[in-house]
A and B are shown apart, each in its own frame.
Chain A
Amino acid sequence: MNDLSPSTLLVLVPLLPLLGAILTVALGRVLGPRAHLPAIAGIAAAFVVAVTLLSGMAREVGAGGTGHDHAAKPVELVTTLWEWAGIGTAAAAGDAARSFSIPVALRLDPLTATLLVIITGVGLLVAIYSIGYMHDDPGYPRFFALVSAFVFSMSMLVAASNFLLVYVFWEAVGACSYLLIGFWFTKPEAAKAAKKAFLVNRIGDFGLAVATFLLWMTYGTLNFHDTTLADGTLVPGILGATRLADAHAYVGGAIGTAICLLFLLAACGKSAQLPLHVWLPDAMEGPTPASSLIHAATMVTAGIYLVARTAPLFEACPGALTLVSIVGATTALVAALIGTVQNDLKRVLAYSTISQLGYMFAALGTGTLLGFTAAIFHLVTHAFFKALLFMGAGSVMHAMGGVIDMRRFGGLRRVMPITAATFLVGALALAGVAPFAGFFSKDEILASLHARGWPDAHGEHHEAAPAGGHAAVAGTFHLVSVTPDAAQLAGGTRGSALDALNTPSTWRLLFWMSLATAALTAFYTFRAVFMTFTGPTRVPEEAGHHAHESPPSMTVPLVILAALSAVSGWWLFSTHALASFLAATPSFTAPAVASTATPPAFHWNLAIQGTLAAALGIVVAALGHLGRRSDGPQMERFLGPLETLFANRFFFDQIYSALIVKPLELVATLAALVDRRLIDGLVNAIAHVPVAVGSVVRHLQSGLVQRYALAGVIGTLLIVLALVARAMG
């Protein structure tokens, strides 16, 4: 591939899965049971290309080296394919920054390269797994077309170098998710879940749309990268090198906070954070591979990507950044509590996904380089072990004839040993047991929170971290033409109301919440493991007599992912490869982020606390569930009224139903009444006029030619009379 430039390769990553999707759609019926071939070929080729790009980028980062002050040089590669929309290119030179131009541009940087490998890699394993899982489904080609289309959309989402393109593919992944949740659309629950996911996501999408408008109003461009106009004027992109080099280039205050909060809203929708998390557990109605790929490993991390990508914007608004952490840690805790009493294996994993995404948000909110890299690190390891756990759950479901309720089976380690072993590896990684992957990423996250809660313990420059951006106000950047209103708003005090949250005591609370979540995570994970795989062997009658280990196409991806879940954390942590690689991401080289860089360290005290928390959870789970029949009395009975609260998922669905759904339904009923009675009534009334006239006039058509002639004569006479009367004056 030496003859291919990196730009071409970057375009190939999304293009190949797109071709795969188109071919699958076009040839699906012809290929029949081999319909997976174009999709898998496309994704596999994209994976190879993505790995090539990643290694190339890693060499470049290594060659660039880090400066003496830890600040890595930004590394980026921008490919502009064509201009999608352009208005006002002939604008006056003084207003050059206002010319509206939306190029279809892709940007490769360490963050994008990492995510591309994860998306195509996990996508490839899931696609291979689906050959076995979906083998006799009537919608077989449709499934692979959708998975391929999803990989395309997601690759574009992380590679796009423009907020409008990000928005487009933000919607595209949402559409793929909708189609895959509702894959078995004849099943009412699946159709309902798909609708719910789509509608809840609209709220977040609305936030992203408004944030994009505000960005355009504030910065005069939507591009990430710097662009040069025809007359040589440089338009600094929002996340371009020019603006990143300037410590005061980002707007804080009310406008900046508004943008960041809208981004947070968007991220909450897509990444299922409180209070928009309600769609993800229901999304488990979709096929398990789709849950694995979209609703665990990749799509739901789009929110993490968005916040990480816009890190410099968030740095200018410390209050918003704190809120990111608060939302994340709260979600992590609430979802973990709900997860402890779920009996549906996939739902346990769904709540665990929400909880782990909350962890990532908590880390992102710290606003330190350590926090950002920890979030992405956890994203990577989570993609491995959560995809593994979901595919293991799918393997169980496949063998149990579609039954996923953990109370109805048990002791499956004797029936399906490979699934059991790989699931255990995934569970250990999720619970954060050393030396599995989750341990290291979770340790980094806890460390980033700890550093904000106890800045003295970590010494140096944390207190200066978000303050770098705090000084930035609207209008200081020379090319930004903020309207006077916006400038006044930005100078207002609304942003600082949130800043009051940014105190060490808040961060300490968040740290303890995260640590409690770690214990709960270990508990519900191992509760699921013990209920499913230990105890007397029981198989539901739906499974028939053929409860058996899954075919190799399903177990091989499990084994690969288990290996990754086991070693990736240790490898990435010990070599510090990922963190130093990600530090060269342009967004993370902003002075506000880069100044928080800390030398790589292993935090023994935190590791011990985390391990103790995990051990506590596992021990409690073992006491309650190890070796017991999973349909017997459960530990939940000790929770008392709390069990009702957890089992009803904190009544979120009921509250939404009462506050939003029911009033809306009332309005809809009223609207329907007005439509049927008033508007339809009017239309029908008008329709009755010709009928009424016709019923009278109809009698004139007697079929008697003499009458017609008489009518003609009378008419002529009338005309003549009228003419004569006029002539007579």
Chain B
Amino acid sequence: MTMNLLADVVAPAPLVIDGLLVGALLFALGLVGILARRNLIVMFLCAELMLQGISVSLVSWSRHHGDWGGHVLVIFVLTVAACEAAIALVFVLQAFARTGRLDAAAWQSLRESNLPRTIDRELPSIDTVPPKFPKLAPAGVEPPADEDALLEREHV
């Protein structure tokens, strides 16, 4: 029924339908990626994918109606997406610096305190010896260690 509605509106313009299909495909791919993947960078890329799917739809409608509104909107979307990308990458970098992993599940310690940890699939443990970097001689008083932080930061 939904398809009938769509066909009624855009029947004389197959190009629009193609564009919308591509857009929907991109959006769905991105959505599945966000929901299924745990790698933060991949998740971010998937979000961008969804954004671009929407952009394609907008451009298609714009072209179909013959006005520039959709194009203008897409330029804005691109601009905002660029800014957002910069911020999101900073977040990803910081998250990595904290946990030493790109795994979004590493952040589930933010869950409600008395819930059990959710483990769908353990990542293979990193058994390589962390590289030894030259260090300055320790000076001053060693700050008291936070046990939670130690748990999460063992590889950094």
Contacts and interface: CB of A to CB of B under 8 A. Distances in A.
B2 interface: yes
A699 B38 contact: no
A699 B31 contact: no
A706 interface: yes
A222 B24 CA distance: 89
A710 B108 contact: no
A701 interface: yes
A661 B104 CA distance: 70
A9 to B, nearest CB: 75
Interface in A700-729: 701-706, 709-710, 713, 724, 728
A704 B36 CA distance: 11
Nearest to A728: B1
A655 B144 CA distance: 71
A706 B43 CA distance: 9
A709 B115 CA distance: 19
Contacts, number: 40
B31 A704 contact: no
A703 B107 contact: yes
B112 interface: yes
A336 B36 CA distance: 99
Given A699-B112, A713-B35, A705 B1 contact: no
A704 B108 contact: yes
Contact of B35 (A698, A701, A703, A706): A706
Interface in B99-156: 104-105, 107-112, 115, 118
Given A710-B35, A728-B1, A704 B118 contact: yes
B31 A713 contact: yes
A440 B84 CA distance: 105
Contact of B111 (A701, A706, A709, A728): A701
A703 B109 CA distance: 6
B34 interface: yes
A704 B43 CA distance: 13
A436 B20 CA distance: 121
Contacts of B115: 698-699, 701-703
A706 B31 CA distance: 10
B111 to A, nearest CB: 3
Contact of B108 (A703, A709, A713): A703
A728 B112 CA distance: 41
A705 B112 contact: no
A704 B31 CA distance: 16
Contacts of A698: 112, 115
Contacts of A706: 34-36, 38, 104
B34 A702 contact: no
Nearest to B108: A703
Contacts of A728: 1
B5 to A, nearest CB: 9
A703 B110 contact: yes
A710 B109 CA distance: 19
B96 to A, nearest CB: 15
Interface string B24-65: 000000010011101000010000000000000000000000
A267 B135 CA distance: 93
Interface residues of B, number: 18
Interface centre among B1, B36, B107, B111 (most CB of A within 10 A): B111
A713 B118 CA distance: 21
Given A724-B2, A728-B1, A703 B34 contact: no
A698 B115 CA distance: 8
A705 B109 CA distance: 11
Contacts of B38: 706
Contacts of B2: 724
A697 to B, nearest CB: 9
Interface in A666-703: 698-699, 701-703
Nearest to A724: B2
Nearest to A702: B111
B49 to A, nearest CB: 14
A699 B105 CA distance: 16
Contacts of B110: 703
Contact of A704 (B1, B34, B105): B105
Interface centre among A699, A701, A706 (most CB of B within 10 A): A706
Contacts of A701: 111-112, 115
A702 B35 contact: no
A704 B118 CA distance: 8
Contacts of A702: 108, 111-112, 115, 118
A704 B38 CA distance: 9
A713 to B, nearest CB: 7
A703 B31 contact: no
A709 B104 CA distance: 12
A598 to B, nearest CB: 93
A317 B34 CA distance: 97
A295 B108 CA distance: 75
A56 B34 CA distance: 101
A705 B43 CA distance: 10
A30 B116 CA distance: 63
Nearest to B104: A705
A704 B35 contact: no
A363 B131 CA distance: 110
Nearest to A701: B112
A251 B75 CA distance: 96
Contacts of B109: 703
Interface centre among B43, B112, B118 (most CB of A within 10 A): B112
A143 to B, nearest CB: 55
A203 to B, nearest CB: 58
A209 B109 CA distance: 68
Contacts of B35: 706, 709-710, 713
A705 B118 contact: no
A702 B112 CA distance: 7
Contacts of A713: 31, 35
A463 B73 CA distance: 112
B1 A703 contact: no
B151 to A, nearest CB: 14
A703 B110 CA distance: 5
Nearest to B109: A703
A579 to B, nearest CB: 87
Contacts of A699: 112, 115
Interface string A511-550: 0000000000000000000000000000000000000000
Given A702-B118, A703-B110, A704-B118, 12 more contacts: A702-B115, A703-B107, A703-B111, A703-B115, A704-B104, A704-B108, A705-B43, A705-B104, A706-B34, A706-B36, A706-B38, A713-B35
Interface of B: 1-2, 31, 34-36, 38, 43, 104-105, 107-112, 115, 118
Interface of A: 698-699, 701-706, 709-710, 713, 724, 728
16 contacts: A698-B112, A699-B115, A701-B112, A702-B112, A702-B115, A703-B109, A703-B110, A703-B112, A705-B107, A706-B35, A706-B38, A706-B104, A709-B34, A709-B35, A713-B31, A724-B2
Q: Identify the 3 closest CB pairs spanning chains A and B, nearest first.
A: A703-B111, A703-B108, A701-B112
